[in-house]
Structure 1
Amino acid sequence: MKSTVALLSLALLAMPVAAQETDESSSLMEEGARLFFRGLMSEMEPTLDELESTLREMQPVMRNFLTEMGPALRDVLEMVEDWSLYEPPEMLPNGDIVIRRKEPITPENAEPDAPAEIEL
């Protein structure tokens, strides 16, 4: 019984010391993380500033592009029902851009109401 009481009292005395060590180590971890992120931000600040200025320069160009090409892009998006059926766009040596189907259309997978081929 005396040994149990002694162990319990020792455990109760050790708890504040363990809690203090945990608080101290967590505060050291917090300080280390804070210093790490501060250093990371100071290293990235010039790059982020450059990115911001580049985006400011691009804004009028992008606005003009969307004004001119927006309607055409909207028409293309309306024509294509499922983009997962197509490969990524590819630019040919002559400058043409081709978007190929992953699975070519055959009579088996053709749409039933698709118009017949017209010979020109």
Structure 2
Amino acid sequence: MKQILALTVAAALLCAPAMAEDAPESDMGEGLDLIEEGARMLMRGLMSEMEPALDALRDNVEQMGPALGEFVQSVGPAFGALLERIDDLRYYEAPEILPNGDIIMRRSPDAPAWEPEPDTTEIEL
């Protein structure tokens, strides 16, 4: 009887580590599944909260589209001409608006010396 009891205790002790190894893996897998499901629920909640704001943004963009296109067509050439006359915007300070409405763009004191490109257009006399 003592031998059977000793064999049973030895078998239980040998099986215990094997059972302990199985338990964390199954618990770990179940925990990861729960975390994944929680992340999905969080993303669904965020999307449902953001949907009205995204719809409003899309409506605003659709309304502004034609006006923005017209603005680019009218201001684009003038902005292109401005960029041809200056070498790099990094060399200028923020624009200053005078009381009469004029806008001045001053060159930064630490900018390199400005050398305008020679005018190659010919003038007929």
Structures share a fold, TM > 0.5? yes
| TM-score w.r.t. length of structure 1 | 0.69
Alignment of 1:42-61 (within 5 A): 42-61=48-67
Give, as a single letter, the amino acid of the residue that structure 1 aligns with 2:113: A
1:75 match: 81
Q: Which structure is higher in RCO with an 8 Å CA cutoff and minimum separation 6?
A: 2
Alignment of 1:1-120 (within 5 A): 10-103=16-109, 109-111=112-114
Q: Alpha carbon RMSD of aligned pairs, Å?
A: 2.9
Looking at CA atoms only, which structure, 1 or 2, has the larger radius of gyration? 2
Q: How many residues align?
A: 107
Distance 1:113 1:64 in 2: 32
| TM-score w.r.t. length of structure 2 | 0.67
What's the CA shift string for 1:42-71, capped at 9, x where partnerless? 111111111101100110001111111111
Give, as a single letter, the amino acid of the residue that structure 1 aligns with 2:42: F
Compared CA separation, residues 10 and 102, structure 1 to 2 (3 A) = farther
- Structure 1: give runs of 5+ residues left out of the alignment: 1-5, 116-120
Query: Kindly, what percent of the aligned residue pairs are identical?
Result: 43
